[in-house]
Amino acid sequence: MRGLFRWSSKWWPGVIPLVICWAIAAWTSTEPLEIDLAQRSAAALKGTILDKRRISVEGRDVTLAADAFSEDGRRSAVASVEVVPGVRLVNDQTRLVPEAKPFVWSAERDVVRVTLSGSSPLPASKGRLMEAARASLGGVEVVDRTNLARGAPPRFDNAALLLLDQIGKLKDGKITLSDTTVSLSGMARELGGREAIAAALKNLPEGFSVAANEVKAPPYIFQAYKDPVAVTLTLTGNVADHNVHAALVAAAGRKFFSEKVVDNLKTSIGAPAGFANAVVSALGALSRLSTGTLVVSDREVKLSGDALYEAAASQIRAGLGKDFPQGWQFKPEISVKPAAAPVDATVCQQLFTELLGKARIRFESGKADIVADSAGLLDRLIETALRCPAANIEIAGHTDTDGDEAANQALSERRAQAVADYLVKAGLPANRFSAVGYGSTQPIAGNETDQGKAQNRRIDFVVK
């Protein structure tokens, strides 16, 4: 031992090369060591959920900066780095992510994009919601502006995913989740969307509730366009169900005797109350126009076009609104078609025959009350009568052979008179018309079949 002590006084010269070695070792090993420790620290934190994680290493000292989502998570992150082999010190710059109170998350849809904002509880939730938004919105740009925060209610992810499904059903609007209450506003993309959203909200996870659902339905629109050139009536828009659809198309067929009905209607829920009746009335008014457009949007009816003569325009303007249910609005924009050129009596007769060949003036069964469906035909007959003001016209009523002949005679007279009265009411001079009833004495078809009888029940216009 004494010798070792004596010899050690002569060991100092080796310190010089040792210092040189140390300097080279320090020079060459520091950076690789730091890189290696940074990688090992990052690997140690792999299973720990952190946000904004930054690891920097100086020598063997690791500086860990990160936002943790719980105190336990924060401590375990620091501990994980401390036990990494080679780490001397951990400079702990971790903190907890701020707590959001109330915890608000929202999804807003405008014309071009969906913006997610507010708070998300974890990076994984953030990613999952973003992915779900992209999947359910197919092609719409999704912008994520959410920040991470603590304080989310339990089952937040499930609730938010369900709400993201609903944002796809909105044309525009906003869905907000504040703690456990949901508020919705905006406009549904399609008819029935509002109802679908309300139904889906019943599946919100336990503990969540709807504070306000102010989603509006898009306007319920029905349109009809009468095209005098193509001689068509085009129906587009929505009807409540198949029965209403069939009834509307049948009514259009009766009212528009010479036009072909083009049916582009589709069935959608959400029709306002009284929709079918209002549309049938409005179609009756449209049938009296030479050309026109009918637009029914929710409870507002717009009818524009040209009436065949002045009195018809006044009648439509004044009369149609009365047929609508309470709360409906009628906006007529009716002008009068320029009067057609006068023609002589022979041409007038031809025109009458042509019109009455296409359709018949129809009455209530067994009565002399003209049904509303015949208004369009009567307007055309009146327009024709106006073109030959000098001609006197016999309005001849005919019946089939069913029933008592005397009753048929009386009915034919009353029906002829009803038509004459209608014409006079439209502004034509009463002295031009004579109403004559022929009963069943002048059939134009056999009375053996229903078809023949229907042809025999008629009103003829005979120019005298």
Partner 1 sequence: MAYLTTFYWGWLLASVLLGFGMGWISVVQHGKGISRKWRWALSALVAALVAAALARVVPGRFGYWLDLGLIMFALYLCGCAVGSWLRDWVVSRSAPPA
Residues that bind partner 1 (CB under 8 A): 3-4, 6-15, 17-18, 21-22, 24-26, 29-30, 33, 36, 58-61, 85-86, 88-89
Beta carbon nearer to partner 1, 59 or 389: 59
Q: Smallest gap, in angstroms, from Cβ of residue 105 to partner 1?
A: 42
Beta carbon nearer to partner 1, 26 or 246: 26
Beta carbon nearer to partner 1, 89 or 339: 89
CA dist., res. 226 & res. 408, Å (int): 37
Secondary structure E strands in 268-382? 289-297, 300-307, 329-336
CA dist., res. 183 & res. 209, Å (int): 9
What distance lies between CA 461 and its chain's CA centroid?
49
Residues 421, 359 contacting (CB under 8 angstroms): no
Q: Quick one: tokens of 81?
A: 């780095």
Q: Smallest gap, in angstroms, from Cβ of residue 88 to partner 1?
A: 6
Enumerate long-range contacts of 423-426, CB under 8 Å, 24 or more apart: 423/378, 423/381, 423/382, 423/385, 423/395, 425/311, 426/309, 426/311, 426/312, 426/378, 426/379, 426/382
Q: Smallest gap, in angstroms, from Cβ of residue 151 to partner 1?
A: 37
Q: Smallest gap, in angstroms, from Cβ of residue 31 to partner 1?
A: 10
Beta carbon nearer to partner 1, 38 or 198: 38
Q: Smallest gap, in angstroms, from Cβ of residue 24 to partner 1?
A: 8
Q: Smallest gap, in angstroms, from Cβ of residue 62 to partner 1?
A: 11
Beta carbon nearer to partner 1, 83 or 406: 83
Beta carbon nearer to partner 1, 58 or 404: 58
CA dist., res. 123 & res. 65, Å (int): 17
Cβ count near 304 (within 10 Å)? 16
Beta carbon nearer to partner 1, 18 or 250: 18
Which residue in 320, 289, 321, 281 sits closest to 307, CA to CA?
289
Residues 183, 209 contacting (CB under 8 angstroms): no
Q: Smallest gap, in angstroms, from Cβ of residue 95 to partner 1?
A: 21
CA dist., res. 375 & res. 288, Å (int): 6
Q: Smallest gap, in angstroms, from Cβ of residue 55 to partner 1?
A: 15
Instruction: Give the CA distances from residue 362 to residues 142, 267, 284, 357, in Å, rounded to whole numbers and listed in that order.
Output: 60, 31, 14, 13
Token look-up 């009411």 returns 425
Q: Smallest gap, in angstroms, from Cβ of residue 13 to partner 1?
A: 7
Which residue in 393, 396, 395, 400 sits closest to 441, CA to CA?
400
**DSSP state, residue 311:** H
Q: What residue type is assigned to position 118 of the chain?
A: G
Beta carbon nearer to partner 1, 84 or 361: 84
Q: Smallest gap, in angstroms, from Cβ of residue 61 to partner 1?
A: 6
- Residues 263-279 as b or e (16 or more Cβ within 10 Å = b): eebeebebbbeebbebb
Q: How many helices (H) and strands (E) does the chain have?
A: 13, 18
Beta carbon nearer to partner 1, 29 or 147: 29
What distance lies between CA 278 and its chain's CA centroid?
21
Beta carbon nearer to partner 1, 15 or 79: 15
Q: Smallest gap, in angstroms, from Cβ of residue 22 to partner 1?
A: 5
Beta carbon nearer to partner 1, 12 or 364: 12
